[in-house]
């Protein structure tokens, strides 16, 4: 697949998330967890989403692959995110990122042979993948990089 726009994933509420719907917008894909030291980034992600939702979409992918820090059901995850952080950006159903079977979207994001740009490894929760308006992978940022970091803000505004 040449573009993330070719993917469709199941949303946390059961409604399909079709990445083709986001053509013309920048996309930030982030793996999320409710019991991680980086969990407060949910608030920063929501702030970013609210500030730039005309030109940016954020898709959160809950995963329990990193330290077992997302043990809840999809319903529990959704409740936690909306009640504690007011999350309105789309969330996918919980996925496997490191353990087989790895979700196809994450296979694409992490392998240059598929995305045409870079090989990467998801090291921990809240790793961020940035994609341009055409659905092409631009960069990956580790968990420690805040969603409100200047490099991400400058990328959105460019």
Enclosing domain of residue 81: 4-157
User: pLDDT tens, 79-132?
Assistant: 999 999 999 999 999 999 999 999 999 999 999 999 999 999 999 999 999 999
Catalytic residues: 36
pLDDT at 1 over 80: no
User: pLDDT tens, 124-155?
Assistant: 999 999 999 999 999 999 999 999 999 999 99
Write the CATH number for 51: 3.40.30.10
Tokens representing residue 14 in the block: 């059961």
Which of helix, strand or coil describes residue 31?
Answer: strand
If you write DSSP's letter for every residue of 51-92 in order, what string do you get?
A: HHTTTEEEEEEE--TTTT---S-HHHHHHHHHHHH---S-BB
d(CA 158, CA 63): 30
d(CA 154, CA 158): 6
Q: How many domains does the chain have?
A: 1
Half-sphere exposure of 86 (CA within 13 A, CB side): 7
């Amino acid at each position: 697949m040449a573009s993330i726009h070719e993917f469709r994933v199941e949303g946390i509420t059961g409604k399909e998330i079709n990445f083709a719907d986001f053509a013309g917008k920048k996309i930030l894909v982030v793996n999320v967890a409710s019991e991680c030291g980086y969990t407060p980034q949910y608030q920063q992600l929501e702030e970013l989403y609210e500030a730039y939702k005309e030109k940016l979409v954020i898709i959160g992918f809950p995963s329990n692959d990193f330290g077992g820090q997302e043990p809840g059901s999809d319903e529990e995850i959704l409740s936690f995110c909306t009640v504690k952080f007011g999350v309105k950006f789309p969330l996918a159903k919980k996925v496997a990122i490191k353990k087989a079977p790895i979700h196809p979207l994450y296979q694409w994001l992490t392998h240059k042979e598929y995305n045409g740009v870079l090989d990467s490894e998801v090291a921990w929760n809240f790793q961020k993948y940035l994609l341009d308006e055409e659905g092409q992978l631009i960069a990956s940022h580790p968990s420690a990089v805040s969603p409100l970091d200047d490099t991400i803000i400058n990328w959105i505004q460019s």
